[in-house]
Amino acid sequence: MTYAEAIQYLYSQMPLFQNVGQGAYKEGLSNTIALDNHFGNPHRKYKTIHIAGTNGKGSCSHLLASILQESGYRVGLYTSPHLLDFRERIKVNGEMISEKKVIDFVEQERSFLEPLHPSFFEVVTALAFRHFAEEQVDVAVIEVGLGGRLDCTNIITPVVSVITNISYDHVNLLGDTHSKIAGEKAGIMKRGVPVVIGEYTKETYPVFQKQSEETGSPIVYAEEHKQIKYSKAAPNDGIQFFTKDYGTLLCELGGIYQKKNANTVLNVIPYLKNTFGRITQSTLSSGFSKVKENTGLMGRWQKIQEKPLVVCDTGHNKGGFKYIVKQLQSQRCRELRIVIGMVNDKDINGVLSMLPPQATYYFCQASVARALPHDEIKKIAEKHHLHGDSYPSVAEAYKQALKDSSDTDFIYVGGSTFVVADFLSYLSKS
């Protein structure tokens, strides 16, 4: 079996959320527990940090992993989805799981997996947990896949839990109010384990408080402990954070929304220092400044080129676009060009209603089954006074935007993780 065949097997045999949506979501932890028992409960062999939230959990996960790595620990990192290579989901000290390890897993375990009928995410989580045990990591930073309470990562008992924020996303699975969604994400709180909440609202606050009281989890609201005094763009395209307790931090990540993520991470650090004593001011600083170098994180206000300025971002819901739109409107350019596509289970009208009508649009369709047809997104966009042409692929839309641009224009590519994945894949091959 080749690596390509192993990946195709996982995609075709296990329900994959990016293709079938709700049909891939398996409620409950019975399959996860069966898989974990089969592999000898690998998640108990290392410490963990658990991160949930609607937006920002990827950035927070990578920042924490980078800080711990800079502090001299062997760090596992489990995130989803991937952009270019399935193996991005499972890393140790920034190194992706090997192709051979994936092949061996599929070949050796398919006889156990097939009768169980697990989801794609259940299988990949089991692979990640086993890989981290075999690699003898000191700690693994585990990002929740969907929700929290019934997510298959929720068998771990971490040293600290993190919930970044609550916004509308996957409402058909998690609930149609902020309080319902918060209830699902608050399900990662474990008895006696501290939890840091990045953002809260009057609707989500009582949900978090109730869960904290029931589980005896010490709770910190990062917004009430502001570590970031102010921030400004850095010369290297990142951000400089001027903090209360940690001096000036240069962050390799772009995007004004990183201020919220950085504040959340800095509120997690005191809890980590109790367990991971080698975290110092120096390792914290270098963890921020080398986060992309250490972890390979892509797609967070990622600058592609200068003339015209091209940026891509994986933001895909109203909570994410609240910050993206502010940054788009702040660009000094001759013309703003937006290459955008979305998948069919998002609040499309909500996102499109936020976008600037003065831009030129290039509506596109990502190469996943759940992608909204490009001509359909164009029709919906026109109701919000957004105008442009539609294209059957991300590459075609981007090539036309580039062709239309002068050196002083700004091109934004986004709307979906899968749009960014197609975009980066096209760039890697061109």
State CA 82 to chain mean position distance.
Answer: 9
> For residue 387, what pLDDT is reported?
97
In whole angstroms, give the CA distance from residue 190 to residue 99. 34
| Phi, then psi, of 248 in degrees rounded to 5 | -95, 125
Strands (E), 308-425: 309-313, 336-340, 360-363, 388-390, 410-414
* Residue 125 token pair: 């989580």
In whole angstroms, give the CA distance from residue 182 to residue 239. 29
> For residue 26, what pLDDT is reported?
53
* Residue 201 token pair: 């609202």
What Cα–Cα distance (Å) separates residue 386 from each residue in 261, 361, 363? Answer: 30, 7, 10
Q: Which domains, ranges and CATH numbers included, belong to the chain?
A: 3-295 (3.40.1190.10), 302-429 (3.90.190.20)
> For residue 189, what pLDDT is reported?
97
Task: Name the one residue in this structure whose structure tokens are 């502001």.
Answer: 226
Give the 3-state secondary structure of residue 264.
helix
| Phi, then psi, of 15 in degrees rounded to 5 | -55, 125
Ordered mean pLDDT values, 10 residues apiece, the chain (430 residues): 95 62 59 96 98 95 98 98 96 98 97 92 96 98 91 96 80 67 94 97 95 97 96 88 96 94 98 95 98 97 96 93 94 96 91 97 95 97 98 98 98 97 96
* Residue 187 token pair: 């399900």
| Phi, then psi, of 10 in degrees rounded to 5 | -60, -40
> For residue 153, what pLDDT is reported?
96
What Cα–Cα distance (Å) separates residue 308 from each residue in 193, 256, 406? Answer: 48, 21, 6
Largest CA distance in the chain: 59
> For residue 12, what pLDDT is reported?
85
User: What percent of the chain is helix, strand and coil (3-state, nearest 5)?
Assistant: 45, 15, 40
* Residue 124 token pair: 């990949």
* Residue 150 token pair: 């019934």
> For residue 166, what pLDDT is reported?
87
> For residue 199, what pLDDT is reported?
95
* Residue 47 token pair: 């410490």
CA dihedral 241, 242, 243, 245 (to 10 degrees): 120
> For residue 345, what pLDDT is reported?
81
